[in-house]
Amino acid sequence: MSQQKWCNCCEQLKPVTEFSLNRRDGYQTYCKDCNRAYRQTGRFPFVSPR
Ligand SMILES: [Zn+2]
């Protein structure tokens, strides 16, 4: 079984393996997909349907 974590960027529940480790509180707030998009475009993708 795997833990899941809420991504504040794409607003989805994803397995923690989709998040980079963060020394301070364990995992980053944004998932790897969002961080990758941020690195490429300079902004976070907000793909929330709302
Ligand atoms: Zn995300």
Instruction: Tell me the pLDDT tens digit for each residue of 1-50.
Output: 679 999 998 999 999 999 998 887 788 899 999 999 989 998 877 755 55
pLDDT at 50: 53
pLDDT at 44: 75
Q: Name the DSSP letter for residue 8.
A: T
pLDDT at 6: 94
pTM confidence score: 0.72
Closest CA to 36 of 28, 44, 25: 44
Q: How far is the CA of 18 from the centre of ligand 1 (A)?
A: 9
Q: How far is the CA of 1 from the centre of ligand 1 (A)?
A: 21
Q: How far is the CA of 14 from the centre of ligand 1 (A)?
A: 8
Q: How far is the CA of 40 from the centre of ligand 1 (A)?
A: 14
